[in-house]
Amino acid sequence: MKAIEAREVVLSFGETPALRGASVSVAPGEIVAIMGPSGSGKSTLLHCLAGILVPDAGEIHFDGRRIDTLNEHERSVLRRDQFGFVFQFGQLVPELTAQENVALPLLLGGVKRAAALKAARPWFERLGLAGLEQRRSGELSGGQAQRVALARGLVARPGALFADEPTGALDSLTGEQVMDLLVTSAREEGTTVVLVTHDARVAAYADRQVIVRDGKVNALVHS
């Protein structure tokens, strides 16, 4: 299980400050929800933790290793080999089958097609998707697509899963089902999770909630 830490992270988009000294520590295997008002810097913080954005100042550490000083290529290898991602709108490839979508991170990591498809298969049972393996992703319901996206985020057994509004496009019942599966699967896999959400009911599934305001992490709430 892998720890994630941001120390005094500062990041501006041109003249717009997004993070003004944001610090957060996520323990190995912990599930942390980042909450806060729109525009407060939640997504930017998530993108820094996930090695997508590089801070102007401060440090990001993953599994005891400083990652904000890596170059673009090193960060893309880190993301491919160590991180899983789930976005608000699943971002599946609509022409591919559900099983092919789940297999994608493995294919990108160099696993052969047959082995990647085989590794994808058990996720359909685990996430209540059995029978949908060959369905084109564009023909899935919102909740089904988001569960496929979750399977894709976890299939390569990442050290960390980053989720930006993973239930934001779903009605609340479907969203709670997806969160329940996300938390159960992450615990089974020992995956550290950082998720961004506006929804207090979604955040309640996390071990801990972190509030971002004006680019700083300024309150901690235990759920």
Interacting residue with ligand ADP among 5, 22, 26, 40 (CB under 6 A): 40
Under the binding rule (CB under 6 A), the answer on residue 16 touching ligand ADP is yes
Cα distances (angstroms) measured from residue 146 to each of 42, 120, 129: 21, 15, 11
Bridge partners of 22, per DSSP, are 9
Least distance to ligand ADP, CB of residue 85, Å: 12
In which residue are the tokens 């591919």 written?
Answer: 96
Q: Does 134 bind ligand ADP (CB under 6 A)?
A: no
Pick the binder of ligand ADP from 2, 42, 79, 216 (CB under 6 A).
Answer: 42
Instruction: Please pick, from the candidates 164, 179, 205, 209, the single residue that binds ligand ADP as defined by CB under 6 A.
Output: 164
Nearer to ligand ADP, 21 or 28 (CB): 21
Count CB neighbours of 54 within 10 A: 16
For the purposes of burial, counting CB atoms within 10 Å of the CB of 63, is it exposed (0-12), middle (13-18) or buried (19 or more)? middle
Q: How far apart are CA 206 and CA 182, in angstroms?
A: 10
Instruction: Point out which span in 39-47, 56-64, 103-111, 123-131 binds ligand ADP (CB under 6 A).
Output: 39-47
The nearer residue to ligand ADP, 42 or 79, going by C-beta atoms, is: 42
Report the C-alpha gap between 169 and 172 in whole angstroms: 9
43 binds ligand ADP (CB under 6 A): yes
